[in-house]
Amino acid sequence: MTELKNDRFLRALLKQPVDVTPVWMMRQAGRYLPEYRATRAEAGDFMSLCMNPERACEVTLQPLDRYPQLDAAILFSDILTIPDAMGLGLYFETGEGPRFKKTVRTAADIEALPVLDTRKDLTYVVDAVATIRRELNGRVPLIGFTGSPWTLATYMVEGGSSKDYRRTKAMLYDQPEVLHVLLDKLVLSITDYLNQQILAGAQAVQIFDSWGGALSHNAYQEFSLKPMQRIIDGLIKEHDGRQVPVILFTKGGGQWLESMADSGATALGLDWTTDIGSARARVGNKVALQGNMDPAVLYAQPQRIRAEVATILKSYGPGSGHVFNLGHGVTPEVDPAHAGAFFEAVHELSGQYHQG
């Protein structure tokens, strides 16, 4: 077991003292970096990049090499690897995002889906985690991740991205028992998927519930939060002599923070529509918080980025339990220098909140 040289990210998730607020950025390995675009071009396409553990490792490490302030690495992969491995045939249309060759829209479609055995069905992800962890050599912790059952279900039923989730919501209201069968299979597959990532070397995991915010209050509790709770209950809690924190991120989920805090998650991710100080008051000491600067701030000049970082740090206030991040993923058009200014500002301005 390689000793971590920088563990402030893990410490903050557990609300242990840190010297400065740790920072990482969702999609920090991605299209805003010219070195990423070059590696993707060499790989041929996005999925070829994901499915090559050495190249996935290379792009995971690229932001760490460029930005020494980063306090965590996140596995380079995609949330849709699970439905792809279930046989739906993931592909990417230019300008349209992810699509599936097959959809699941009937009870028979769902019945035919397998429950995944990650080591057999998604070997390339497990190998990528192990490769990245080895190459990190203790620089920073490695984050594994998955999409939530509800989010994956929407892609599988709709056949790709959707503005209104019409087919999935129709199933939810007309045939809830059918949707529950799909969610049950996803819970089992995702739990194994995350546990295999942990065993391969992931030191924290995040569940991306990208579309949970599209649900009504009652539907969110039943069809998004409860399945995520079941996953959290089934996860390996400690590995390599350390607790393995779980971050639960529902985009658009600020109204449900109290019930999310009861999910068993270690930390909650916040998007930029929720004030982090108010969120801290609402969840108390139950969970740490991650977030939550609007990604669009990175289009602004460095002095404005710095001012926004200061505002969020002040809102959270003194003490540990805050991991600084964006409220969603960095966008491809962001100037890499602006991302660097963001990371520098977090470390430079947060020390005052961690004294004593």
Catalytic residues: 27, 31, 40, 78, 155
C-alpha dihedral (250, 297, 78, 36), degrees to nearest 10: -170
93 secondary structure, DSSP code: E
> How is residue 98 written in tokens?
């992810």
Between CA 95 and CA 118 the distance in angstroms is 30
> Is 221 one of the annotated binding-site residues?
no
> Is 30 one of the annotated binding-site residues?
yes
> Is 78 one of the annotated binding-site residues?
yes
> Is 155 one of the annotated binding-site residues?
yes
Helix then strand then coil, % of the chain, to nearest 5: 50, 15, 35
Cβ(266)–Cβ(283) below 8 Å: no
Cβ(286)–Cβ(262) below 8 Å: yes
Between CA 115 and CA 133 the distance in angstroms is 27
Helix axes 176-200, 123-136, angle to 10 degrees: 40
> Is 31 one of the annotated binding-site residues?
yes
> Is 254 one of the annotated binding-site residues?
no
Question: Which position has the token pair 């004593």?
Answer: 356
Binding site membership: which residues? Answer: 27-31, 78, 155, 210, 328
Binding site membership for substrate: which residues? Answer: 27-31, 78, 155, 210, 328
